[in-house]
Amino acid sequence: MNTLEQTWMTHQISNQFDELENYNLFSSDTVLHEILKRCGSHDQAILCEMGKAAGSSEYYQYADLANKHTPILHAFDARGRRKDFIEFHPAWHKWMGLNRQFDTHAHPFNHPESSSKWVDWAARFYLAGQVECGNLCPNSMTLGSIPLIQREPELWAKIGDKLLSTEYDERDMPIAQKKSIWLGMGMTEKQGGSDVRTNETVASPIAESGRGKAYLLTGHKWFFSAPMCDAHLVVAKTEQEGLACFFVPRWLDDSSKNSIQVQRLKDKVGNRSNSSSEVEFKNAWGLMIGEAGRGIPTIIEMANYTRLTCSVGSSAMLRQALVQCIAYTRQRKAFGKHLAEQPLMQAVLADLALETEAATQLSFHLAHCYENDDALSTAWKRIMTPASKFWICKRAVELTGEAMEVFGGNGYVDNGIMARIFKEAPVNTIWEGSGNVMCLDVLRAIGRDPESIEVLFKDLASTALDDETLKVELQNLFTLFQQVPDDLQFMGRSLVSRLTLLAQAVLLKRYSPKYVAESFIQTRYSQFHGRVAGMIEAKQVDVARLLERALPQ
């Protein structure tokens, strides 16, 4: 061998492995299968089809391209006329089309007779969210807007079929000319952030005032989600009726553009494929929906759905991070063994597996509660939706960082999915209310309906009383929740975190194998848990069974 050949041999690549692609996200997920079977779903065949498509190398590539080639705002045409058109890479449209095809945006409303409609919807959102999260924003907002629009008969008659349609229509034109449409939302203003009551955008009636009447809106929105949507639900104040909610289309019926000017697109840390913007309303036409003076309760109803999407979406990120870590460590060798055989790495992987299953069980249990309006389901929805959004989204931020570390330096470069998930995770902690807002919402729900926490605790007790650790925690939490409001608020994060952990432990005891539930309880209620992943004792977990359950070989 000559010297040149020897030199080039130093560039031979070994012990390097790409992120996992081209696998079926659905068929490889044991926990998801169990949940769907338990809830009586009949959608396994179509979900398998979706899981195959979303997990294909083709759609992983689309996700990468959509996040590298971010949206571009074209505020003016060549002659200086406002057009506020947002250009997306074709890969974005591939993902939007896939989700529209599989009814991710409206499944519960397209199948109202199904007893598992919300669980089946959550499965769709969960599968898509493992690969490309940005396009889930318009899917989420459209989903949350549908029940509000359904209560406006005249408006629903005009646009209902377009909201429910599973045919993707990317054209930017008036609603009447389109086959399907997307809805966004506009609440946040510079001076108030989460404090929507400080909104300064003004809505003035064109003629008559009140529900179903036309108004002109003037003002500014600091965060206007997905401005390319065909219409938005916007909170604005009126002179006599207080804050109200308005349906504000992008185009008017006469084919002229509504007076909504996109000032700029936000340059975000993550969620890069999706456009977020600042906009100015200059006498923009809008239709009041909901009762006059009830703008915040109206839009919060939409937010209750989109907060659920945050929990499901963060669970999806945890799932993808876990799968990537297990697949990689089963191939990569260090110090004479595969990484997955190294005890310290096993502790990290087992911890990630427990966290992911707990998040998934809670998210899907909440989705199942959206099927019903009984007292117990209502208590879970009202208290645990903001609680789970707080906890699961927070955990996703921390644990996607841990997962990225499993890949070492390769995880920190921007041409792989690990870095993208890591940068994506924080959006769900902030969007639809930050952590403090979620904790306050939990306390507010309990304060308004004290019986709801009793109903919830009674349900938790039916399982927790069989375990001494959970029994003690349940009793302690119930006592703590009886404190005066100011003390409750000061302890809000602690109380909500503990409540969510307890709910996860109860659900795992009910629905997961015994070794999963016991491992979760032993590790989550030890003194040092929560500082970093992997701080568990070997005797607390059955590593081999946990990892095989998470990703069968």
pLDDT in tens, the chain (553 residues): 566 566 666 678 888 888 999 999 999 999 999 999 999 999 999 999 999 999 999 999 999 999 999 999 999 999 999 999 999 999 999 999 999 999 999 999 999 999 999 999 999 999 999 999 999 999 999 999 999 999 999 999 999 999 999 999 999 999 999 999 999 999 888 887 778 778 889 999 999 999 999 999 999 999 998 999 999 999 999 988 899 999 999 999 999 999 999 999 999 999 999 999 999 999 999 999 999 999 999 988 998 999 999 999 999 999 999 999 999 999 999 999 999 999 999 999 999 999 999 999 999 999 999 999 999 999 999 999 999 999 999 999 999 999 999 999 999 999 889 999 999 999 999 998 899 999 999 999 999 999 999 999 999 999 999 999 999 999 999 999 988 888 899 999 999 999 999 999 999 999 999 999 999 999 999 865 557 899 888 888 999 999 999 999 8
The CATH T-level fold of domain 298-550 is Butyryl-CoA Dehydrogenase, subunit A; domain 3 (1.20.140)
pLDDT in tens, 63-111: 999 999 999 999 999 999 999 999 999 999 999 999 999 999 999 999 9
Identify the pLDDT of residue 438: 96
For residue 308, CA distances in Å to 89, 157, 362, 369 come to 28, 27, 11, 11
Any idea which residue has 């003076």 for tokens?
293
Query: DSSP letter at 22?
Result: S
CB 200 within 8 A of CB 219: yes
- CATH ID of 182-294, from 2.40.110.20, 3.30.300.30, 3.40.50.40, 3.40.220.10: 2.40.110.20
| Residue 480 Cα distances to 355, 420, 462, 477, 483, angstroms | 25, 39, 20, 5, 6
Return mean pLDDT, the chain.
94
CA distances, 502 to each of 202, 478, 541 (Å):
44, 12, 19
What is the reported pLDDT for 7?
60
pLDDT tens for each residue of 435-450? 999 999 999 999 999 9
Residue 4's pLDDT is what?
Answer: 59
Which tens digit of pLDDT belongs to each residue from 209-255? 999 999 999 999 999 989 999 999 999 999 888 999 999 999 999 99
What pLDDT, on the 0 to 100 scale, is given for residue 220? 96
Predicted pLDDT of residue 192: 73
Report the distance separating Cα 180 and Cα 162, nearest Å.
Answer: 4
Q: How many residues does the chain have?
A: 553
Query: H-type helices in 241-342, by residue range?
Result: 295-329
Q: For residue 276, which of 262, 261, 266 has the smallest C-alpha distance?
A: 266
For the beta carbon of residue 227, count every other beta carbon within 10 angstroms: 23
Q: Where are the domains of the chain?
A: 30-164, 182-294, 298-550
Report which secondary-structure segment, H or E, holds 276: strand 276-289
**Beta partners for 237?**
202, 243
pLDDT of residue 5: 61
Q: How far apart are CA 270 and CA 267, in angstroms?
A: 9
Cα separation, 60 vs 312, whole angstroms: 20
Whole-angstrom Cα Rg for the chain:
24
- Closest to 30 measured CA to CA, from 513, 388, 421: 513
Report the 10 Å Cβ neighbour count for 260: 26
The residue among 418, 429, 394 whose CA lies nearest residue 67 is 418
